[in-house]
Amino acid sequence: MSKMTRRDFNEKLVKGLGGVALASATGSVLEGATPANAPKQPNIVFICSDQHSYKYTGYMGHKYVKTPNLDRIARQGVVFTNNYCSNPVCVPSR
């Protein structure tokens, strides 16, 4: 395996950044080029908080905890309450 010199590194870096810049520019040009009948992509929000139980949210009927933003997301979307973890080693997975 050959040793990479500073010159080799800089050359690969410039080529890589140039490729990223080209892809970004091409993507922004093609962004509006989708057909009108193309299916709309779903918006998926995955919320995972440490030491937090779903039963301590307003949408699950807790009397004292107020979570208006989570309530709105739950009301307009899908809520999963049954989960499976093959190796529950931390509190959020129990």
Q: What are the tens digits of pLDDT across the range 3-61? A: 878 888 778 777 777 776 666 666 555 555 566 676 777 777 777 776 777 788 888 88
The CA-atom distances, in angstroms, between 50 and each of 12, 57, 75 are: 40, 14, 23
User: What is the structure's pLDDT at 84?
Assistant: 73
* 73 CB-contact burial (10 Å; exposed 0-12 / middle 13-18 / buried 19+): middle
User: What is the structure's pLDDT at 23?
Assistant: 66
Mean pLDDT confidence for 56-77: 88
Q: Give the number of other Cβ atoms within 10 Å of residue 11's Cβ.
A: 12
User: What are the structural domain ranges in the chain?
Assistant: 54-93
Compute the distance between CA of residue 43 and CA of residue 5 in angstroms, rounded to an integer: 45
